[in-house]
């Protein structure tokens, strides 16, 4: 009876949800958050270099898609989201460090900030306190929430409230206290891309111009365009997956299962499933709702690099029922 009442309450909350929300209370519409706005504009402008014919190469295109899988998939959805934010599995610390470093190379802020923002989103999903609800408007959910200054989500006490466990790690605390550290990590990996490609070009072609062309091509496609791509597919979870798609569950928010976003993000687009069961390492609730990110986690578990992988709720419940029957 309690379960039925809970479902009814959630369904009623969904129906009563306003069609449009005001901005979060502490957002200053007159203050641009240049710390995010300036790099966002700059990197988008640099990404237009992919349309320069001299900078095109199939090696660059390959670097883009390999980079999206490595940095955008392992780093953000698996590292920042399922590992750090929801603790849906565990890894040895050195594996966690690798995943976090990949996320930092995607220029999506420090672990504590990302985790705090996302946990707040779940606590107040599609309410005024939600940092990026599309019930304000699509562009706000997609990237506008980063462009305008929000006094609530840009102070250390906020990170302590929502990501205290993250800040207990000395490395993550160092990243917060030394704000340029994460920037240098991103710039350092970009420089390594360029230098490695330049060396490869000299080895393959032995000509300075050809080597430089390859290096710039891999830099533009494999670093700049890859960064923009990963930004947008991550932002699409906040925007598209709260606006378009179907719902398996009547959660109290507007989360949707969006196959397009799921295909781009390795499964993150099954967002209604995730909001219904945030603790689970898997968002695959139907056989055709493929979740490649979960398959990667299970592969890590198979080779001993992941443990305590949290199964979906119905499996957890079945396990509890079996234990109660045995008792």
Domains in the chain: boundaries: 29-253
Q: Could you write out the DSSP letters of every residue in 246-314?
A: B-SS--SS---B-HHHHHHHTSTTBHHHHHH-TT-S----STTS--HHHHHHHHHHHTTS-B-PPPPHH
Structural contact between residues 327 and 316, judged by C-beta atoms closer than 8 angstroms: no
Q: Please give the helix or strand (H or E) that residue 27 lies within, else none.
A: strand 27-32
Tell me the DSSP string of 62-79.
Answer: HHHHHHIIIIIIIIIIII
Q: Which of 143, 160, 147 is nearest to 28 (CA)?
A: 147
Q: What is the pLDDT of residue 323?
A: 54
Closest CA to 148 of 33, 36, 37, 235: 33
Nearest to 281 by CA among 38, 81, 48, 1: 81
In tens, the pLDDT along 204-260 reads: 888 889 999 999 999 999 999 999 999 999 999 999 999 999 999 999 999 999 999
Q: Do 5 and 131 touch, CB atoms closer than 8 A? A: no
pLDDT tens digit sequence for 45-71: 999 999 999 999 999 999 999 999 989
- What are 75-88's pLDDT values in tens digits? 999 999 999 999 99
**pTM for this prediction:** 0.90
In the predicted model, residues of the chain with pLDDT beneath 70 are 1-19, 319-327
């Amino acid at each position: 009876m309690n379960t039925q009442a809970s479902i009814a309450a959630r369904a009623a909350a969904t129906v009563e949800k306003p069609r449009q929300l005001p901005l979060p209370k502490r957002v200053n519409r007159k203050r641009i958050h240049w710390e995010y706005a300036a790099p966002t504009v700059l990197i988008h402008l640099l990404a237009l270099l992919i349309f320069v014919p001299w900078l095109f190469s199939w090696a660059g295109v390959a670097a883009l898609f390999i980079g999206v899988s490595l940095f955008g998939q392992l780093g953000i959805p698996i590292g920042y989201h399922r590992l750090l934010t929801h603790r849906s599995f565990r890894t040895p610390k050195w594996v966690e460090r690798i995943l976090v470093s990949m996320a930092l190379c995607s220029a999506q802020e420090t672990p504590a900030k990302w985790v705090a923002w996302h946990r707040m989103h779940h606590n107040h999903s599609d309410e005024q306190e939600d940092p990026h609800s599309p019930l304000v408007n699509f562009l706000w959910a997609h990237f506008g929430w980063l462009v305008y200054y929000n006094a609530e989500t840009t102070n250390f006490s906020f990170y302590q409230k929502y990501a205290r466990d993250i800040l207990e790690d000395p490395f993550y605390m160092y990243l917060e206290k030394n704000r340029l550290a994460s920037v240098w990590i991103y710039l350092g990996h970009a420089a390594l891309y360029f230098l490695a490609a330049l060396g490869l070009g000299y080895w393959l072609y032995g000509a300075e111009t050809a080597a430089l062309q390859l290096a710039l091509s891999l830099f533009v496609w494999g670093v700049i365009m890859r960064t923009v791509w990963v930004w947008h597919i991550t932002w699409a979870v906040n925007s598209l997956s709260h606006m378009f798609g179907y719902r398996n569950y009547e959660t109290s928010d507007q989360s949707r299962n969006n196959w397009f976003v799921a295909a781009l993000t390795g499964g993150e687009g099954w967002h209604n499933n995730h909001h219904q069961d945030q603790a689970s390492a898997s968002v695959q609730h139907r056989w055709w709702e493929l979740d490649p990110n979960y398959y990667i986690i299970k592969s890590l578990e198979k080779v001993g690099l992941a443990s305590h992988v949290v199964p979906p709720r119905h499996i957890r419940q079945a396990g509890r029922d079996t234990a109660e029957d045995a008792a």
